[in-house]
Amino acid sequence: MRPKGPLVGMVVLVLAVLGVSAAWCKPNGPASPPDTTQSYVLLSLIKSVAGVKPKDEFFDIRMRFKRSDISCTLASIDAALSTTDSSSTNRVLSDAEISLNWGFPPAELDTRTTMYGPAFRVFDAQPYAGLHVVGQELPASKYAGTMVTGALLWSIDSDHHYLPALFADFFVAALGKQGKEEFLNKVALRGSYLVPLQRGAAPVSRIVIEVPIGGLTTF
């Protein structure tokens, strides 16, 4: 059985509160060299082309909130809420993620980083929690916004069954200053693949085409 109403509200509340608090926790200090690890927000129109296809998907919001030189909060959410019954008013969140990440501080001219930490994800309307490792292109990179994630997750349901799964996710784009004429500056590709670690359970996947609106907004 999949959790509905109250859990969905809790997920959205956690996304909002942790994301905003992470931005406010950005440390103050003296002037420093140009920041390659800036916070950013990216808004994109989306269309699923394979695997899970929510009927009313519309756009995706991806966020990175810098907390310190070695930590950040990553979040993403599909703004469309899907339902398996068009006559029902009880909707469920189809795809979202929020994670707290730590890693080694990048050098001034670094364009990518690897981080790790706890993650909470909703995939195909099913909530999961676990640990992940993420490789990310920083705002100074030609491929800013691109990231690849691997995770060990456990499903969370109302019957208190915590089942493990392997999860892989990628987002490929070219939103950096040097990539303005690249195809991936106008169209991005996102993919997710989840493999439950129990006998008889089928893998779940999703491939999404995204069209960024206004590019990567850093702050």
Quick check: is 14 in a domain? yes
pLDDT of residue 7: 47
CA distance 43 to 90: 26
**Secondary structure of residue 132 in the 3-state scheme:** strand
User: Residue 127 falls within a domain, yes or no?
Assistant: yes
Residue 182's domain comprises: 5-25+40-82+93-218
Q: Which CATH number belongs to the domain containing residue 65 in this structure? A: 2.40.160
Per the CB < 8 A criterion, the answer to whether 186 and 172 are in contact is no
The Cα–Cα gap between 173 and 21 comes to 27
**3-class SS at 176?**
coil
Residues of the chain with pLDDT under 70: 1-37, 80-92, 106-109, 158-160, 176-184
Q: How far is CA 140 from the centre of its chain?
A: 20
According to the model, what pLDDT value does residue 26 have? 42
Element (H, E) at 10: helix 5-24
> Which residues on neighbouring strands pair with residue 128, listed in sequence order?
121, 155
pLDDT at 33: 40
- At residue 112, the pLDDT reads 82
In a domain, 32, yes or no: no
- Domain annotation covers residue 103: yes
**Cβ pair 140, 111 in contact under 8 A:** yes
- Please tell me the distance from the alpha carbon of residue 98 to that of residue 73, in angstroms, as a whole number: 7
- State the pLDDT at residue 217: 79
| Radius of gyration of the chain, Cα coordinates, nearest whole angstrom | 17
The number of folded domains in the chain is: 1
Q: Say if 31 falls within a structural domain.
A: no
Q: What are phi and psi of 74, to 5 degrees?
A: -110, 140
| pLDDT attached to residue 133 | 94
Q: Could you read off the pLDDT of 136-153 as tens digits, one per residue?
A: 887 777 888 889 999 999
Structure token pair of residue 147: 């990231």
- Quick check: is 35 in a domain? no
Is pTM beyond 0.95? Reply is no
